[in-house]
Amino acid sequence: MKIDKIKEQIVTLLTLIRIRNCIMTFFGVLLGASFIDFSNIFTFKIILAGIAVFLITGAGNTINDYFDYEIDKINKAYRPIPSNKINRSDALMFSLTLFFIGMGLSKYVNDYCLGIAVLNSIILVLYGKYSKRLHLVSNLGVSYLVASIFVFGALANFDSGINEIISEIGKLQLIAIISACAFFTTFSREIVKDIEDIEGDKKEYSVTLPIKIGVKRSKNIASIFILAAILFSASPFFIPQEYFNLLPYGIFILIADLIFLISLTMHPAICQRLMIVGMIIALLAFFLGGFP
């Protein structure tokens, strides 16, 4: 029985941090690092950077559930806090612990990563507390957070000053492209999630985009940002061949882009889940494209 209880607690914590999202951010760091030097991605320093982002992501997801407790009782009563699988104050302490460990690990990577880790941790706390009141700002914030994962991974490769970074400007173009794709896709998905949560948000007097301008116009904006991501995903075809393997990239990014387009025709609950699938395939496309 004791073992079963421990297993149940572990499952609760993994659900709380949204383990799938955390794993994706871990591999996002490795992907960002691979564009600078593929041979480095399994070194201790890069793995440490991935773990740091994994923990900070988990902390952000946890503190978001902490602040969204009342809304989740309406929209997502199955989540660990509203379902009483974990005490709300315990979830807060767990979140803060993950934040500090993540920032501590970032310090061991380099000062660039520490700066991003501290900034992103602050944004995650502010997002959790004010996301339903800051309208578009909160959606922009979380989109930046996702995009910054790849920058974090790329910067984890560097030890010295700015000149070392400038010397790799060609490879950093790929980081800019994948970060832009991640930003636009995430922004679109955040709008879709707000559409899905509109009833609970109304009861909590939240000010989200669908409440402010309506569901139809919000869907149109989400579609525009997905189209922007698709346009940016074509950018590697204009980068010199020495930097990128276009054939495997082209095959998988086409599949991802089709999934994104199909998702926009679905119910919001299905749409935002399909977008996750598209994001995973897009990550695979960039990884295979950067494979030496």
Looking up residue 220, the CATH number of its domain turns out to be 1.20.120
* 143 and 203 inside one domain: no
Rounded distance, CA 187 to CA 170, Å?
Answer: 27
The three-class DSSP label of residue 79 is coil
pLDDT at 214: 86
Is 171's pLDDT higher than 90?
A: no
- 280 and 228 belong to one structural domain: yes
- Residue 119 and residue 213 in one domain: no
Name which of 111, 112, 142, 117 is nearest 52 in CA terms: 117
Question: Which CATH number belongs to the domain containing residue 137 in this structure?
Answer: 1.10.357.140
Domain check: are 40 and 92 in the same one? yes
Q: Are residues 21 and 163 in the same domain?
A: yes
Residues 237 and 283 placed together within one structural domain of the fold: yes
Q: Does residue 1 register a pLDDT over 60?
A: no
Q: Are 121 and 105 in contact (CB under 8 A)?
A: no
pLDDT at 197 over 80: no
Segments forming the whole domain that contains residue 248: 168-292
Tell me, yes or no, whether 108 and 206 share the same domain.
Answer: no
Instruction: Break the chain down into helix, strand, coil percent, rounded to 5.
Output: 85, 0, 15
Rg (CA), the chain: 19
* 161 or 279, greater pLDDT: 279
Residue finishing a domain among 167, 202, 221: 167
Write down which residue in 144, 167, 190 finishes a domain: 167
pLDDT band at 211 (very low <50, low <70, confident <90, very high): confident
| Number of structural domains in the chain | 2
At residue 38, does pLDDT exceed 90? no
pLDDT higher than 80, residue 106: yes
Domain co-membership, 176 together with 141: no
Number of residues that this document lists for the chain: 292
**CA distances (Å), origin 290, targets 40, 134, 155, 182:** 13, 37, 16, 17
User: Which DSSP symbol is given to 30?
Assistant: H
pLDDT at 50: 97
Q: What is the DSSP letter of 239?
A: S
Average pLDDT over residues 93-112: 95
Cα–Cα–Cα angle for 126, 131, 133, nearest 5°? 110
Identify the residue whose tokens are 């880790």: 117
Residue 108: predicted pLDDT:
92
Q: Helices H, strands E: what count in the chain?
A: 14, 0
Task: Let me know: does 245 contact 288? Beta carbons within 8 Å.
Answer: yes
Provide φ and ψ at 156, rounded to 5°. Answer: -65, -20
- Do 246 and 107 lie in one domain? The reply is no
pTM here? Answer: 0.86
Residues 197 and 60 in one domain: no
Listed residue (119, 129, 172, 165) closest to 150, CA to CA: 172
Q: Write down which residue in 167, 194, 217 finishes a domain.
A: 167
Residues 134 and 45 reside in one and the same domain: yes
Same domain for 222 and 84, yes or no, is no
